[in-house]
Each structure stands twice: as C-alpha cells, then as structure tokens.
Amino acid sequence: MQASSCRLVKRKMNPSIARDTPPPMTQQQAAALHKQRLRTELLARRKVLGEQDKIAADAVIGQRILDWCATHAIHSLAVYQPIRREPDLSATYNALAARGVHLCLPVVVDKDAALEFRAWQPGDPLQKDGMGTLVPPAGTTVVRPQALLIPCLGVNPAGYRLGYGGGFYDRTLAASPRPLAVGVCHSFGRVEFEAQAHDIPLDSIIFEDV
C-alpha cells in the first residue's frame, strides 16, 4: 500500500475581511464609550422616576442647597432651568432671591466656548435658545457668579461630573477666576467612570439621600 501524502494549503485571507476588522479601541475611546452608555442608562432612570418620588427628592435637594449657600455665605449663584427631568428647584430659587442672593442663568454663546451668565430673578422674562433651553434675552446684564449650581447626570467617587457631553461647564470651570462648583444629582447617579484630562472635579455635590 502506498503511503498517502498530505499537503498543507495556505489559505489567503480575503482582503475585504481584513479591511473590515476594526482596530482595538484606545483607552480614551473605551472611556468615552462607557460614559455614553452611562448617559443612556441614567436618562432612562430619570424617565421612570415616579412623580411623587421626584417631587420629594427635589424638595430635599432644594433645602440642602439653601443650607449650603448659608454655610458658604453665597451672595451670587448661577442656577439652571431644568431639562430632561433634572431636579426642579423653582421654590429654592424663590427662597434664595428672598434672602437677597443674586441669581443668574447660563447661556451658550458658542459651542466651543465657556458659558456666559446673565442676571436673572424669578419672574423675569425668558426665551428659548437654539437648543430649546430657557435663557434671559440678549442685552441682559452679564455677570460673574460666586458659585455655580450644576445639574449632573452622574458623579463618580472622586467628584467628577457626568453631563450630556458638551463640555460647557468644564470650559467654564477652567476659566479664571474659577467659581465654586456645587453639583446637583439624584442618588442613583452615583456611578464609576474615569475622568478625562479636560474634566474638572466639583467642590461639593448635593444628593437627596445623604
């Protein structure tokens, strides 16, 4: 019987398959993807938060903001008009104004710039900007607040904020002089993520549970 012989045949890889194989993600890309997944999850959590639970949580957060402002002798504060079911602090703004605290609201003047702050008190007229956010009209006095009240989707244990990804507050906090930054976050927003080079930690964070 003749011994059979076998031959190894090299298969050529289809060039189109090789081209379609994505390169491995960099650490920075992986961190950005993780943040985006967290944003999706946390926005979903906000949507399913019961109305009565939200009202109760917002009231606790509001009282803690009043206490924080008194402790830090805050005389001027940048606040925000809530979007995407952020804590509604209208009653807190009324109380701060009654105490003589000068309030203002952030305005996006350019997608790559720091925020501008325009003087505002409860009851003053507002108009929608290009992104649908209520802001004081053009021509309103521009101010530099002592502190910023910053809504957060999430925060990590080191005090870094997870927002919507625009970077507006980071650019604002990088400017000089730097205002105090107090984050406002629902308790389910405590999450783990790595801060990136441009991220700036908050000075304080206010939750409804502790």
Domain limits, the chain = 50-206
Of the pLDDT bands very low, low, confident and very high (cuts 50, 70, 90), residue 6 is very low
**Distance between CA 160 and CA 203 in Å, rounded?**
9
108 Cβ partners below 8 Å, 6+ apart? 115, 116, 129, 130, 131, 133, 166, 168
Rg (CA), the chain: 24
- Determine which of 25-34, 40-49, 86-95, 124-133 has the lowest per-residue pLDDT on average: 25-34
Q: Which CATH architecture has domain 50-206?
A: 3-Layer(aba) Sandwich (3.40)
- pLDDT over threshold 90, residue 5: no
Q: Which tokens go with 200? A: 């700036």
pLDDT greater than 60 at residue 16: no
* Mean pLDDT to the nearest integer, 160-172: 93
Annotated binding-site residue numbers: 35-39, 86, 161-169
What is the structure's pLDDT at 171? 93
More confident residue, 105 or 21: 105
Give residue 185's region: left, alpha or beta (phi > 0; psi -120 to 50). beta
Q: Is the pLDDT of residue 18 over 70?
A: no
Of 8-12, 148-152, 158-162, the poorest mean pLDDT is in: 8-12
pLDDT in tens, 127-159: 999 888 999 999 999 999 999 999 999 999 999
In 3-state terms the chain splits into helix, strand, coil percentages (rounded to 5) of 30, 15, 50
What is the three-class DSSP state of 177? coil
Confidence of residue 21 (pLDDT cuts 50, 70, 90): low
Q: pLDDT band at 22, cuts 50/70/90?
A: low
Could you give the CA distance from residue 43 to residue 153 in angstroms, rounded to a whole number?
7
pLDDT class of 13 with cuts at 50, 70, 90: low
Say what the pLDDT of residue 1 is: 44
Crossing angle for the helix pair 90-98 and 51-71, to the nearest 10 degrees: 30
Output the known binding site for substrate.
Answer: 86
Note whether 54 and 82 are within 8 A (CB).
no
Helices H / strands E in the chain, number of each: 5, 10
How distant is the alpha carbon of residue 203 from its chain centre?
A: 14
For the beta carbon of residue 5, count every other beta carbon within 10 angstroms: 5
Q: Which residues are annotated as a binding site for ATP?
A: 35-39, 161-169
Range of weakest confidence among 30-34, 54-58, 151-155, 159-163: 30-34
What percentage of the chain exceeds 90 in pLDDT? 76
Exposed, middle or buried, 91 (CB in 10 Å: 0-12/13-18/19+)? middle
Q: What is the mean pLDDT of the chain?
A: 90
